[in-house]
């Protein structure tokens, strides 16, 4: 129970299901962070290889860096926020969880399609 300006507010407790899903969301956020770190590392190596091979680098790694910043970073952020919202039993926790899940499915489907067609 919290007193806020003379008003009593009772905080809702997170259920067991909320905690289990929060742990899963946190794990997925860590996976997105690992993918972000891997993409950054791989693109830095691609740029170094281009400099060794050609003596200069124009855009080696730029597409991978762009993909990392536009797909992996938002995924890590939204899954971390969803995990936090579930753990704290905030009001919009399930909406945020399903938005994060939709983003994760979108990224997986997109990269599967790219790999399949290349």
Q: Is 78 inside a domain boundary?
A: yes
Q: How many domains does the chain have?
A: 1
What pLDDT shows up at residue 43?
Answer: 87
Q: Is 8 inside a domain boundary?
A: no
Q: Is 1 inside a domain boundary?
A: no
Stronger pLDDT, 10 or 89, i.e. the higher one: 89
Per-residue b or e along 61-99, where b marks 16 or more CB atoms closer than 10 Å to that residue's CB: beebbebbeebbeebbebbbbbbbbbbeebeebeebbee
pTM of full prediction above 0.85:
no
Q: 61 lies in which domain range?
A: 14-116
What pLDDT shows up at residue 91?
Answer: 87
Q: Is 21 inside a domain boundary?
A: yes
pLDDT tens figures, 45-85: 888 888 888 887 777 778 888 888 999 999 999 999 999 99
Q: Does 2 have pLDDT greater than 80?
A: no
């Amino acid at each position: 129970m919290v007193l806020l300006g003379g008003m009593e507010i009772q905080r809702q407790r997170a259920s067991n299901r909320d905690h289990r899903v929060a742990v899963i969301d946190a794990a997925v956020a860590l996976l997105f962070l690992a993918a972000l770190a891997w993409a950054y590392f791989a693109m830095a190596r691609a740029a170094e290889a281009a400099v060794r091979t050609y003596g200069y680098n124009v855009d080696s790694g730029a597409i991978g860096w762009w993909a990392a910043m536009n797909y992996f970073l938002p995924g890590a952020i939204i899954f971390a926020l969803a995990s936090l919202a579930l753990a704290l039993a905030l009001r919009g926790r399930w909406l945020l969880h399903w938005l994060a899940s939709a983003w994760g499915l979108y990224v997986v489907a997109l990269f599967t399609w790219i790999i399949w067609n290349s």
